[in-house]
Structure 1
């Protein structure tokens, strides 16, 4: 069989600076392309940072024009890419936490976070999830952070035939032991591989743990990033099973970003 290559883009985001974050996403995508990645997963709200108080002003429409360069790169690389943005819908006052899916054929898909953490309801509305995807012959289900803390979410994905559960998250040091154990348990008991992409730096006042990871269908941790920072976790499935490696990503020095205050 031909190798199947997935990757988690663990990135350190600039708060509210979509332009700078687009540049960082492009660097990750280009690096992933060099390794033949067919599916690239970014963390929750990766293009804005996890910034609930700014989300309403930063929210984008379904036909988000600023994604055009990333969509073109996804096409050129034949790489399904999942990026995070708050989504504005005309019939809702508050935005949704969305994963925008950039398909290799140029089309755009949407997954919206179904389960909110306590307090998020002040800034966001819950979403409706999304459809399964077929990536290089494997069926993939998406999840955004708190979704996976509700056992029925991964269980439903497995029942629908998902072979990989890909979750975009923001997990801090305190919560990491519990959450990683939970994800590992899903992989083992549902016999469904799990890919987790975490933030690589602080965002929204939360210090991310990093440590993005991949567990195989037996619940074995195939690979994890070593702490925080901009790192690409590359996972390849070959005849003998899954193999993983992490690669640090060199980026321009981080500078203080200007953040637009939320309008009343």
Structure 2
């Protein structure tokens, strides 16, 4: 990851309002750009909130017109941006997904492979266990929340050559120690950096712990947000820092 500056966007989603969230994502992206960030990761379902019953009405495709400002901003900023979204599935329930806006103007989609109990009533699991992107020479693997609870997911990313494993999540205070302990363990076991972007506040009735964090390959914590609230958690070769938003 030599030379890469990357960040978790600890973000508060507007429930079920894609246009409002696109506008607020742009403001966060602009703040990240000023900080020199080259890879920015938002939480799970950041574009609509963790509103499971309403996801079908919010389902998107990566090339939807409402997302054009994000595609354009990624290209103009030279930044790779990973957002959380409900992804449309033909003749099926939507998926919990990540839409990546690449610095060269491309978009790509990843669908959450492992679901939390109860999510299957509202969404369909993705078939691909791992997706990698090259970000300025660093191989980055995507995960979404419950994916990280299954070691085989992180293992598949490592086998595919990931140097950085990034997860958009919604983690509560009660689950934080267990979930982040697993993430730090993957960094140590598989020798890859790990980033977790959490929601800034409650979403869909689930209270977020905040405390987005980044671990170095080997498992050492580089930087973490101190609690809930909107902020950027940034890391590079020189270490990490937290930048409040708003």
TM class, shorter-length? over 0.9
Aligned to 1:11: 11
Structure 2 residue 62 is matched with structure 1 residue 51: no
The 5 Å alignment of 1:101-250 reads 101-129=100-128, 130-238=130-238, 243-250=239-246
Give the root-mean-square deviation of aligned CA atoms: 1.2
Residues matched between the structures, number: 245
The separation in 2 between residues aligned to 1:112 and 1:85, in whole angstroms, is 9
Runs of 4+ that moved beyond 3 A: none
State whether residues 80 and 101 of structure 1, in contact with CA within 8 Å, keep that contact through their aligned partners in structure 2: yes
Residue segments in structure 1 that go unaligned for 5+ positions in a row: 251-264
The separation in 2 between residues aligned to 1:104 and 1:137, in whole angstroms, is 13
- CA shift at 1:2, angstroms? 6.5
The 5 Å alignment of 1:57-136 reads 57-90=57-90, 92-129=91-128, 130-136=130-136
- CA shift at 1:62, angstroms? 3.8
Aligned to 1:253: none
Residue segments in structure 2 that go unaligned for 5+ positions in a row: none
The separation in 2 between residues aligned to 1:55 and 1:99, in whole angstroms, is 14
Distance 1:141 1:2, change over 3 A: closer
Matched position secondary structure for 2:110: strand
Per-residue CA shift, 1:66-98, capped at 9, x if unaligned?
A: 1100110000010000011101122x3200111
- CA shift at 1:61, angstroms? 2.6
The separation in 2 between residues aligned to 1:19 and 1:162, in whole angstroms, is 33
The separation in 1 between residues aligned to 2:63 and 2:28, in whole angstroms, is 23
- CA shift at 1:128, angstroms? 2.5
